[in-house]
Amino acid sequence: DIQMTQSPSTLSASVGDRVTITCRASQSVSSWLAWYQQKPGKAPKLLIYEASSLESGVPSRFSGSGSGTEFTLTISSLQPDDFATYYCQQYNSYSWTFGQGTKVEIK
């Protein structure tokens, strides 16, 4: 199984900050990498797919980059609505794995 490791586990930031979350895969996943946002009590929401494609309706302050084993999610200017937990996810041959999550908290 491919393992996904996110860092950091928790991130404290202020409104307006540029925030970067990293996701590493235990082996290459090409560009089959997605990012999700989850708020308490809600289902996760897809933000980015294929490593860097922005899902329809997602604000442009969210961006994704990377390929192979190293990926990043960047929020260019953190907004109050962005305080949530973020997960990366890989897909490979009918198998999916999530990272352990990164909680973005208010500083």
Partner 1 sequence: EVLLVQSGAEVKKPGESLKISCKGSGYSFTSYWIGWVRQMPGNGLEWMGIIYPGDSDTRYSPSFQGQVTISADKSISTAYLQWSSLKASDTAMYYCVRPSRSGWPFDYWGQGTLVTVSS
Which residues of this protein are in contact with partner 1, per CB under 8 A? 1, 31-34, 36, 38, 43-46, 49-51, 53, 55, 87, 89, 91, 94-101
Residue with Cβ nearer partner 1 (17 or 52): 52
Residue with Cβ nearer partner 1 (21 or 33): 33
Q: Which residues of 75-106 are buried (b: 16+ CB within 10 A; e: fewer)?
A: beebeeebebbbbbbbbeeeeebebebbebee
Residue with Cβ nearer partner 1 (17 or 46): 46
